[in-house]
Amino acid sequence: MFRLLLFFRGYYVIVVSGYGTERFINLCKVKNIYLWDLKLSQGECIMKITVSDYDTLFDIVNKTGVKVDILKKYGLPFLFWGRKSRVFYTAFVGIAITLIFISNLFVWKIEFEGNYTLSKEQLNDFLTEYEVDEGVLKSKVPYEILEENLRKEFPIVKWCSVALSGNTLYVRLEENTLLKDTTAAMEEGMYSDIVSDVDGVVTELLVRNGVAQVKVGDTVTKGQLLVTGVVPIYDDSLLVKTYHYYDADADIKIETTMNYEDSIDNIYFEKEYTGRKKTVSYLKWKNTDIHLPFESKFAYYDTYTTAHQVHLFDSLLLPVYYGTYEAREYYLVEKEYTEEAVLKIFNEKLSNYYTSLSEKGVQILEKDVKIEHNASKWVIKGNYVVSVSNSKKEYKEQQVENIIQ
């Protein structure tokens, strides 16, 4: 934005010389005259100053006794020199201001915040239903309707806000990460059972809702019923009178075994870049690219893309992007892993594996890890005894039971 304003206003590159240079700079600061890109060179100081500020330097130059010379001139005013050109310049600036004003009436960018479960594509499709897209008039955006219907369309959204900042439409939302199938299922006449995730031995069992179907020390198989949400209600004769249905809830730990195996080939190929490149510039309007054919004769290459959005001011963004497609050539060099490198890779893989287990509530009780090497690859094998927190639920429809009279 600053550079754009400087271009419209015009500025000089000046050189200040003499013993009063430092005082000259200090007085400019006192009078709020902006100087930038100051550089000392052989007792002189080169700097930049706007055309309007340069016209106010007369008194400061007289007080300090310095000499000021103009080295270069930059900006739009110097592209239009002469009487007729100044008229054209004035008209050009007027048209530019008008275009800026008109452009400020539209939404040129849409940003989503807080959508961890919902994808950007889902939210864009939702906005499209209400004809809200990049390039829509700000006055055509139904803010309150979008907020209300966004919560209706996506039950996981418990709060949302649709608001403008400059030319950017921000859709901010907060998802209910604690929303579970439990509530909806129970409201629809369902109940839940807890079944085993794995084969193993039950080591801990604490039931909050439901009836346990196993006890500590029992051996269970994957999919076996551990706790049922169907609770029988007995009469005085200890006969089942009816059943109550619950969302089964319990803390269950099962001891089981897990295996881990991974391998790395002895030989690998590493990229070495030649320094040869091919670059093509492009211009993009929304989803349409305009660029020369991008064909590379390199056998191997990586493609890098740069993208910059056009903006007139910090908050005035346009749906126009420019940038480059660049192909960087490389060739493949065959190399062989050293034992040290293999150990480092395996240690990193194991660390990630252990972190993944921990995040799932799996506790490692015993481990036996071995690394083997043959003619073609390195192999790592791990055998683990672990404790698993079981939480797998199955939802079922409630059954109408006969009540014993």
This model's pTM is above 0.75: no
Helix, strand, or coil (residue 155): coil
pLDDT band at 89 (very low <50, low <70, confident <90, very high): low
φ, ψ of residue 294 in degrees (nearest 5): -110, 90
pLDDT confidence band for 85 (50 / 70 / 90): low
Q: Which two tokens stand for residue 114?
A: 């807080």
The predicted pLDDT at position 182 comes to 44
Domain boundary assignment for the chain: 2-79, 109-175, 184-254+392-397, 260-267+337-388, 269-332
Sign (positive/negative) of CA torsion 94, 99, 105, 111?
negative
Answer yes or no: is pLDDT of 382 > 90.
yes
Tokens standing for 267? 């030989």
Q: Which of 128-137, 149-158, 180-189 has the lowest mean pLDDT?
A: 180-189
Split at pLDDT 50, 70, 90, the class of 240 is confident
- Residue 181 pLDDT > 60, yes or no? no
Residues β-bridged to residue 363 = 387
pLDDT (tens digit per residue) in 285-304: 766 777 666 677 888 999 88
Average pLDDT over residues 83-103: 63
Q: Which residue has the higher pLDDT, 27 or 178?
A: 27
What pLDDT was estimated at residue 280? 85
Which range has the top average pLDDT, 54-68, 177-191, 316-330, 376-390? 376-390
Using pLDDT thresholds of 50, 70 and 90, give the confidence band for residue 5. low
Binned at pLDDT 50, 70 and 90, residue 352 comes out as very high
CATH 1.10.645.10 fits 2-79, yes or no: no
The arithmetic mean of pLDDT across residues 100-104, rounded, is 71
Confidence bin at 281 (pLDDT 50/70/90): confident
Q: Is 109-175 in the same CATH topology as 2-79?
A: no
In the predicted structure, residue 309 carries a pLDDT above the cut 70: yes
Beta bridge partners of 234: 240
pLDDT at position 252 over 90: yes
Q: What is the pLDDT of residues 30-68, one digit of tens each?
A: 888 889 889 887 778 999 998 888 988 988 999 888 999
Residue 2 pLDDT greater than 60, yes or no: no
Burial of 196 (0-12, 13-18, 19+ CB in 10 A): buried
Q: What is residue 263's DSSP assignment?
A: E
- What does the pLDDT read at residue 317? 65
In the predicted model, what is the mean pLDDT of residues 367-394?
Answer: 93
CATH node for 109-175: 3.10.20.310
Q: What is the pLDDT of residues 133-170, one digit of tens each?
A: 888 888 899 999 999 999 888 878 888 999 988 888 99
Handedness of CA 54, 55, 57, 58 (dihedral sign): positive
- Arithmetic mean of pLDDT, 231-249: 84
What's the farthest any 2 CA atoms get from each other in the chain? 115
Q: Which residue has the higher pLDDT, 240 or 150?
A: 150
CB 149 within 8 A of CB 128: no
Q: Which residue has the higher pLDDT, 345 or 190?
A: 345
In this prediction, residues 176-180 reach a mean pLDDT of 53
pLDDT band at 224 (very low <50, low <70, confident <90, very high): very high
- Rounded average pLDDT over 87-100: 64
What is the predicted pLDDT for the residue at 293? 66
- Cα-only R_g, the chain: 36
DSSP 139: G
